[in-house]
Structure 1
């Protein structure tokens, strides 16, 4: 098998008695529209707005009957959906959102972008070994092709097959934070960022540019990209809380405007199923109950290049059992058995 490095990339519904809005999960690499059956009470206009969000056939697994059946595994990718001419497409964040059979519990598994894997197609139809985010770039300049190659890479390496894909232009979510007037983020320690200066430990309200600098930061964390993953997942939950606090999940007029903002930053593949069908089916999911999971792995330098690897032995056993739990819909039990891999949200200090 050819050995390449990422520095040498190619050019390239169930009814409810009372209207209840659930959440819009949005953020870097973590996007899922989850609106409740209460949307029906506000009429077809809002449902049509939800269905106007762009969908493309990325995985080639269209569902003819349009039913949303659990369990579900959705690939969520934070990427530049409009790369400048001549620049390679990039995926900065990769997450698997697992939803259980009952469509009531969702958990997020982060895949480190530097994870060393075998990529089945490295732009020329040939395999290579590289960082997993390189598979997105090798897929070509179109976001859908990059996502398809990334999904294939994950499936080939870990056996997880996907029911859908959500591609998000993360920097575009600055518009959403601007609409909120800012966002509350909690830092476990002072963070000296490359793009925004030093931010102090604790919970504070941040303007959009500062929030982006915090969430993008990688090198100021003691454990590097793992720290950034935790902050990205925290950012997702805080956006949800902010949307709820400001009435975006209970006011049809406000949520309509938010859908317009979010929709500009999304490309979805829901297997041909209407986005509104997903919205209604997944209304029982609560953002506060979502757990975020670190992949059993560690950093390692190989031939002068920094990778994330899954070491042989106990670590590989834990990683294999994690992917088995995703496939078998036993992830909630796996989390109880492996609490050390949970990413604790810094705003929930006392969460058990």
Structure 2
């Protein structure tokens, strides 16, 4: 059974999630902090005090990947390396209610990163999968037990809303040949309470941003954003650049970095009440695989990752090319994409050729 992805066009006819022909991302995006790093830092900041917050375990939602996917998965790494799928979900109902932009149901995976931590835990690579990439979705099982047949040419970010997070994990494993050891998802709408809990976040914008859709209205310069403004910031798209989703992804990454910096500044150990409030906000927005669905497991995992230096983390976009049938969508570019996945599977150095994306005219 074959399904076609719904076409979403921008005003300039280019696909959402890709830039114009003149958009050329930097060769290496070092120092970008992904959602997982934020979580690890927060737990580490609590140190040995995490056991005080055992009642927060109930906030964390869990996905049993083994039950949902079964044995039809790639083999685990022969080393102690780890692969984690990190999703930033875009809750349409939560986001629009907070932004007062109407009532839209459903959710989509707004940001998807395959985070690879090689043996030794000293460095990390995160591969970003563009949301409008056409993929073959494998046969999946929904949370209610119903089967969903395989489908070709499905837009990647639609899988989350149509079938569920376990199917997103299975799809990533199929296209990459890499087993995801863990899964983490954070709802962007959940950051509203988190930002308010820490007293706001400073961001600097080079140009004025005026987006009537998200409600964001900022002049060039540095601003301290509250929770609602932060949600507007990560949701804005029409008020920056050419209106493509690349601009929004850039703002989300900037916001994650700013949020991490703000948490580092705060004396969480010296304020148990504040630490609890922050942890409560974060865990309410968090979904993990069942193996990580407790503060104890998360803290243990976070401590095992202490050797990873976020400043040396490299984020690479999956090399993509415009689809020949539907130029408003992209597909994995070959042989670059296969070479990238192979390097991660074998803990090898990623060749520069595997980072070049034809859709952007240069390095991904």
When normalised by structure 1's length, the TM-score is 0.72
Provide the rounded CA distance (Å) in 2 between the counterparts of 1:172 and 1:198. 21
Provide closer, same or farther for how the CA distance between residues 327 and 201 of structure 1 changes in structure 2, counting only shifts above 3 A.
farther
Match of 2:173 among 155, 178, 182: 155
Distance 1:117 1:339, change over 3 A: closer
Give, in whole Å, the separation in 2 of the partners of 1:196 and 1:87: 19
Give the structure 2 partner of residue 175 of structure 1.
Answer: 193
Asked whether the 8 Å contact 2:86–2:114 carries over to 1, the reply is yes
Structure 1: how far apart are the matches of 2:271 and 2:157? 38
- Give the secondary-structure state (helix, strand or coil) at the position aligned to 2:83: strand
- The Cα of 1:207 is off from its aligned counterpart by 2.8
| 1:297 matches 2:320 | yes
Which of 124, 130, 136 aligns to 2:148? It is 124
* Aligned CA distance change for structure 1 residues 43 and 225 (closer, same or farther; 3 Å): closer
Aligned length: 303
Measured in 2, the distance between the counterparts of 1:86 and 1:191 equals: 24
**C-alpha distance in 2, partners of 1:138/1:318?**
29
Matches within 5 A, 1:249-268: 252-268=272-288
Instruction: Please give the per-residue CA displacement for 1:241-265, whole angstroms capped at 9, x wherever unaligned.
Output: 1101122377555333311110111
Give the distance between the partners of 2:165 and 2:120, measured in 1 at CA. 27
Q: Deviations over 1:40-83 (max 9, x none)?
A: 3x47425x367555252431189xxxxxx841111112225796
Q: Displacement, 1:31?
A: 6.2
Does the 8 Å contact 1:36/1:281 carry over to 2?
A: no
State the partner residue of 2:47: 39
Match of 2:350 in 1: 334
Does residue 137 of the first structure (1) align with residue 139 of the second (2)?
A: no
Unpaired segments of 5 or more residues in structure 1? Answer: 9-24, 63-68, 140-145, 342-352
- Residue 93 of structure 1 is aligned with which of 111, 119, 129? 111
Aligned residue for 2:311?
Answer: 288
Q: Is structure 2 residue 222 aligned with structure 1 residue 222?
A: no
SS in 2 for 1:60: helix
Q: Which moved more, 1:158-167 or 1:81-90?
A: 81-90
How far did 1:327 drift?
Answer: 2.1
d(CA) in 2 for partners of 1:198, 1:37: 33
Match of 1:59 among 65, 76, 79: 65
For 1:296 and 1:182, locate their aligned partners in 2 and report how far apart those are by CA, in whole Å. Answer: 36
Cα deviation 1:20-39 (Å, max 9, x = unaligned): xxxxx775x98643434982
Residues 117-144 of structure 1: per-residue CA shift (max 9 Å, x gap):
11123873232311101111221xxxxx
Distance in 2 between the 1:188 and 1:291 partners?
24
SS of the counterpart of 1:92? strand
1:259-310 per-residue CA deviation (whole Å, 9 max, x = no partner) reads 111011111115368222112212233433333322222555844x722333
Matches of 2:273 and 2:311, distance apart in 1:
24
- Flag the 1:72–1:93 CA change in 2: closer, same or farther, 3 A: same
Matched with 2:86 is 76
Say whether the 8 Å CA contact 1:190–1:200 is kept in structure 2.
yes
Matching residue of 1:325 = 343
